[in-house]
Amino acid sequence: MPPKTPAKAKGTAGKAAQTPTPRATPVKNEKDGEMKAPTKPSPPKSPTSSKKPKIGLEFEKLNTELKLAPVDVSVATNSSTIKGHEKVSGFEKIVKLDASRPFTLVTSILLEDGPYKGHQAILVKPSSPFPFESLPPEIRARIHRLALAPSGDLNGKIEISGGVSSAKPIKAKAYASKDKERLALLLVSKSTLAEARPLLYQFTLSFENTGTLLAFLSQCGTAVRALLSNIEIVTWQKANAPACLHMLSESANLQRLHIDAGLSFNSTPAKTAKQFWADAYRFLQAMGAAKGDKAAGMDMITFGAGAKCFSFRQEGQKNPRPFSEDEVREFRELVGAKLK
């Protein structure tokens, strides 16, 4: 019998066998007229498998009998069951230790008595706080001043707004948002408060107006009023200026008072001096008595430049003009004469 011809492969294998493999064709170089070596067709790319993103561990706090644990302990997942490894023998549980200050892992021991007999304990030792109180007073003062500086600037001003003439409560912008934790230093202890509070009020306090200063003085108490040393008033308001300066007269340690704007508008030096004396005479006399010099109160006051603080409109002039240097000097001399 003649030999049988082999049967054709069925299915996809047969189809693959029937499909001819594409042949590499030579490419002609147009410049030289020569034929290049045939190029092999690139095999089709297989689709890449997308990698699964890694999922981070979720930790939950471990139950504890301590009301205030110095080191918080949390474990991965909320189950107390310890699962075994999938590929190797043994078991594991991931534990996270977290604390506000440094700590060290000391050792691990097996408890032999007590309610937790047979349990293994991990001993953790929280580090002792830095002995800040043992530093020299001048070093502590420098650290306190750096911590309390408005926006971290040792030459900065503490700007205070709001108060009597505003519906908003008084607030210091530098400590109202990101720097508000700085003032927590005053709550650490009585000794820290005694050291740090005088340093805080050595910074220049700049008040939006006399109404804001009046509200501040009414709320801060006599202890704080006695610590004030450098005050700036951005806008003088005649309605509340007398009451404001009357309360400020208790600040015996005051070294400087600056009035930037609004003291006089369209008024002569003589009229301005008369009005200022009526508003500030209690303050000026109190500062003179506290410092042993009658002129001390007027000497510590500075005024803003230009027409924003002093202005006068002469006959025939359309716009008021600022006081000249001679007119400012005249104003000062007229007020000073009342103190003698």
Q: Would you say 261 and 308 are in contact if contact means Cβ atoms under 8 Å apart?
A: yes
What are the DSSP E strand ranges found in 136-195?
Answer: 157-161, 171-172
> With the C-alpha atoms ordered 295, 296, 298, 299, is the resulting torsion angle positive or negative?
positive
Q: Give the whole-angstrom CA distance, residue 161 versus residue 229.
A: 19
Cβ contacts of 5 within 8 Å, gap of 6 or more: none
CA angle 197, 200, 204 (to 5 degrees): 145
Mean pLDDT value of segment 215-234:
94
According to DSSP, the residues that pair with 59 across neighbouring strands are 76
How many Å is the Cα radius of gyration of the chain?
41
Q: Would you say 156 and 146 are in contact if contact means Cβ atoms under 8 Å apart?
A: no
72-76: strand order across its sheet? 59-61, 72-76, 95-98
Q: Is 54 helix (H, G, I), strand (E, B) or coil?
A: coil
Q: What is the pTM of this model?
A: 0.66
Q: Give the whole-angstrom CA distance, residue 324 versus residue 151.
A: 37
Instruction: State the pLDDT confidence band at 275, using cuts at 50, 70 and 90.
Output: very high
Q: Which helix (H) or strand (E) holds 110?
A: strand 103-110
CA angle 139, 255, 258 (to 5 degrees): 120
In terms of average pLDDT, the best of 125-129, 169-173, 232-236 is: 232-236
For residue 265, pLDDT over 80 is answered with yes
Residue given tokens 């003085």 in the structure block = 217
Instruction: State the pLDDT confidence band at 317, using cuts at 50, 70 and 90.
Output: confident
For residue 7, pLDDT over 90 is answered with no
For residue 9, pLDDT over 60 is answered with no
Tokens of 281: 């005479």
Cβ contacts of 106 within 8 Å, gap of 6 or more: 123, 124, 125
Distance set, CA 85 to CA 53, 90, 228, 241, 333 (Å): 21, 6, 68, 78, 92
60-114 residue pLDDT tens: 777 777 766 778 878 776 556 676 767 677 888 788 888 877 888 889 999 999 9
Q: Give the whole-angstrom CA distance, residue 322 versus residue 312.
A: 6
For residue 184, pLDDT over 90 is answered with no
Residue given tokens 């505003």 in the structure block = 166
